[in-house]
C-alpha cells in the first residue's frame, strides 16, 4: 500500500475519510451527514465506520467516518489503529483504489496519525498470491492512502511505523506461504532478498558446519527430510550496549510429527510451525529498516520434520551441541530440539546480555491460554516484566507461566541426561524446563510459546483471517523500551 502526504484535497478525490473521537463529529461535516450518522447510531466507537455521500465542488463524494473511541482512553493508540483498520476492512474490496484521509479537523498529533495509518495498512494486507478465480467484488482494490492536513512530524512518525509494518507483513508472508514454497533454503533466500540494501549482517550455517559444531539435536529433526536444514543469523549493530540482545526463533517449516506422525486432519496448518522464526525475521527487518539504535541479533533454526527411512526414531538418543544427551521419546516434540542447539550456539557465538526465544512450541499452550495471549516463561523477573509490558503496549499480549525445579523430574531420563517430552500435565511447562537446561548460568532468558497466536481463524483488530504477524511488534517495542533507552 502506498501512503503519501499532500497539502490539499486532490481534485480527483472520490472517497474522503475522517477520524472521529467518541461523541465528537467534525464541525465541518454537512448537516445531512451528521444527521445520517446519528440516525445510524454512529457514536465514534473504536473501529466503527459510517458511510454517507455529499456533493462537494459539483461532484458526489463518498464520505467515511472512522471511530477512534474516547480520546482520553489509556489505550488511545490501539483505538486509533482500530479506526484505520476499520477503514481498510470496509474499503479494501470496495472498488475504491484510494482513500483520502483528512486529518485537518481531527486534532490528532503526529504519533496518533501514524497509529491510524499503521492500523489501516496492516488490516489491508491479504495473501492472494494463489487465488486465481476471485469474483470481481472479492478482489482487493485499495492501493493507496493520501493524507491531508497532517500535523508537523507526521511523515517522520509514519516512516518509523512503516518499518514496523514492513516487518509484520514479511512475517505474515513467511507464515502464510505453503511448505512447498517456504522451506529452509527458500526461507534463507527470502531473508537475503528482503535485507538487501540494509546494513544487517547475515550468517548461514549449512548441515556440514552444524555437524562439526555438534548440533545433533537440530540436525536430527531434519534428517528425514529431502530439504537440508540451516541455521540463520541476522545481526543489526545499531550501537548501544556491547553485548547484544538475542532473539531465537523456531523455524520448523513443516511439521508432520516425524515418525510420531500427527493425525491427518489439521496437519496442513503445520506450515506455520515456523512462526517463531518468522517473527524474528520480521522483527529484525523492522529494526534494520528503522535503523534502531541497538545491538540485536536474530537466530533462526530452520528444519523440516518428515517421516522418512532416515528419520530419527522414538527411543533414539542424540548428543546436543552443549554436550547434554537427549532421549527422543516423541519425534513430534521437535521444536525444543531445534531450539536447544540454536540457543546454545547463540550464547557461545554472541555472549548475549539477554536471550529470548519465540516458538509455536506446544498445543498445550493453546489449551491454557487460547488465542488471546502467548505464554512467557523466564528465569529473570525483570526480563519477564519487560516482555509483559512490551506486549501490553504493542498489542501482542503475553501471560507469564511458571518455571520451577519441581517440574524438572518430569523430563529426567533413566538412560540419558534428559528426555524430550514429559507427561501430558504441564506439557508447556516441561517444554520450557527442557529449554532452560540449555541456558548458561547467569544468562537472563525468556521463552515465548506463541502457538495460539501466529494464525487466526477469524479477523482481528488489525489482521484478516490467516497469518497475524504476532511477535514482530512485541520485539520492536521491547527493543525500544529496554535496549534503545
Task: Provide the β-strand partners of residue 456.
Answer: 466
Q: H helices within 184-327, ranges in order?
A: 184-195, 207-213, 216-222, 275-289
What CA–CA distance (Å, rounded) separates 1 from 122? 9
What CA–CA distance (Å, rounded) separates 234 from 213? 19
* Cell numbers standing for residue 37: 450518522
Per the document, the length of the chain is 485
Candidate list 62, 336, 419, 473, residue with the active-site label: 336
C-alpha dist (Å) from residue 34 to 20, 37, 38, 43: 12, 5, 6, 11
Candidate list 71, 140, 262, 437, residue with the active-site label: 262
E strand or H helix that includes residue 49: strand 49-56
E strand or H helix that includes residue 275: helix 275-289
What is the DSSP track for 150-180? PPTTHHHHHHHHHHHHHHHHHHHHHHHS-TT
Straight-line distance from the first to the last Cα atom of the chain, in angstroms, rounded to the nearest whole number: 31
DSSP secondary structure code for residue 423 in this structure: -
Contact between residue 84 and residue 119 where contact means Cβ atoms under 8 Å apart: yes
What CA–CA distance (Å, rounded) separates 332 from 482? 35
Active site residue 71: no
What is the β-pairing status of strands 295-305 and 230-237?
antiparallel
| Positive or negative torsion for Cα 166, 168, 170, 176 | negative
| Positive or negative torsion for Cα 30, 36, 42, 43 | positive
Active site residue 135: no
* Cell numbers standing for residue 144: 493507496
The alpha carbon of 25 is separated from its chain's Cα centroid by a whole number of angstroms, namely 35
The helix/strand/coil state of 332 is coil
Task: Provide the β-strand partners of residue 296.
Answer: 236, 245
DSSP strands (E only) in 77-195:
98-102, 144-148
Active site residues: 262, 336
Amino acid at each position: 500500500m502506498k501512503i503519501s502526504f499532500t497539502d490539499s484535497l486532490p481534485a480527483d478525490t472520490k472517497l474522503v475519510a475522517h477520524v472521529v473521537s467518541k461523541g465528537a463529529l467534525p464541525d465541518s461535516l454537512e448537516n445531512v451527514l451528521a444527521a445520517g450518522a446519528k440516525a445510524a447510531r454512529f457514536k465514534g466507537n473504536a473501529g466503527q465506520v459510517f458511510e454517507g455521500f455529499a456533493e462537494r465542488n459539483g461532484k458526489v463524494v463518498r464520505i467515511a467516518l472512522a471511530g477512534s473511541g474516547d480520546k482520553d482512553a489509556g489505550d488511545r493508540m490501539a483505538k486509533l489503529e482500530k479506526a484505520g483498520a476499520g477503514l481498510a476492512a470496509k474499503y479494501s474490496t470496495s472498488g475504491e483504489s484510494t482513500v483520502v484521509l483528512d486529518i485537518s479537523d481531527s486534532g490528532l498529533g503526529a504519533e496518533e496519525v501514524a497509529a491510524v495509518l499503521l492500523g489501516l495498512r496492516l488490516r489491508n494486507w491479504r495473501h492472494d498470491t494463489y487465488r486465481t478465480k476471485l469474483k470481481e467484488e472479492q478482489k482487493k482494490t485499495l492501493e493507496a492512502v493520501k493524507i491531508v492536513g497532517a500535523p508537523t512530524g507526521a511523515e517522520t512518525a509514519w516512516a518509523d511505523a512503516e518499518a514496523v509494518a514492513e516487518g509484520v507483513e514479511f512475517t505474515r508472508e513467511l507464515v502464510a506461504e505453503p511448505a512447498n514454497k517456504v522451506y529452509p533454503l527458500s526461507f534463507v533466500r527470502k531473508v537475503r532478498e528482503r535485507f538487501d540494501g540494509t546494513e544487517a549482517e547475515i550468517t548461514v550455517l549449512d548441515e556440514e558446519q552444524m555437524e562439526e559444531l555438534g548440533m545433533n539435536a537440530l540436525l536430527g529433526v531434519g534428517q528425514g527430510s529431502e530439504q537440508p536444514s540451516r541455521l540463520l543469523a541476522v545481526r543489526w549493530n545499531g550501537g548501544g550496549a556491547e553485548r547484544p540482545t538475542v532473539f531465537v526463533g523456531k523455524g520448523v517449516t513443516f511439521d508432520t510429527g516425524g515418525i510420531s506422525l500427527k493425525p491427518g486432519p489439521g496437519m496442513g496448518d503445520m506450515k506455520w510451525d515456523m512462526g517463531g522464526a518468522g517473527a524474528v525475521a520480521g522483527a529484525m527487518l523492522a529494526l534494520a529498516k528503522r535503523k534502531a539504535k541497538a545491538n540485536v541479533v536474530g537466530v533462526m533454526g530452520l528444519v523440516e520434520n518428515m517421516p522418512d527411512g532416515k528419520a530419527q526414531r522414538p527411543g533414539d538418543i542424540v548428543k546436543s551441541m552443549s554436550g547434554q544427551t537427549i532421549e527422543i521419546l516423541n519425534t513430534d516434540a521437535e521444536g525444543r530440539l531445534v531450539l536447544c542447539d540454536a540457543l546454545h550456539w547463540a550464547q557461545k557465538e554472541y555472549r548475549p546480555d539477554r536471550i529470548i526465544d519465540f516458538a509455536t512450541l506446544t498445543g498445550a499452550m493453546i489449551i491454557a491460554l487460547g488465542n488471546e495471549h502467548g505464554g512467557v516463561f523466564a528465569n529473570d523477573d525483570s526480563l519477564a516484566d519487560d516482555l509483559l509490558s512490551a506486549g501490553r503496549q504493542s498489542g501482542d499480549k503475553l501471560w507469564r507461566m511458571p518455571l520451577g525445579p519441581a517440574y524438572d523430574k518430569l523430563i529426567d531420563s533413566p538412560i540419558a541426561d534428559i528426555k524430550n517430552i514429559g507427561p501430558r500435565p504441564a506439557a508447556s511447562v516441561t517444554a520450557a524446563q527442557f529449554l532452560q537446561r540449555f541456558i548458561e548460568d547467569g544468562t537472563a532468558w525468556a521463552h515465548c510459546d506463541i502457538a495460539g497466536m501466529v494464525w487466526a481463524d477469524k479477523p482481528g483488530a488489525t489482521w484478516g483471517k490467516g497469518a497475524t504477524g504476532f511477535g514482530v511488534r512485541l520485539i520492536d517495542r521491547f527493543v525500544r523500551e529496554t535496549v534503545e533507552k
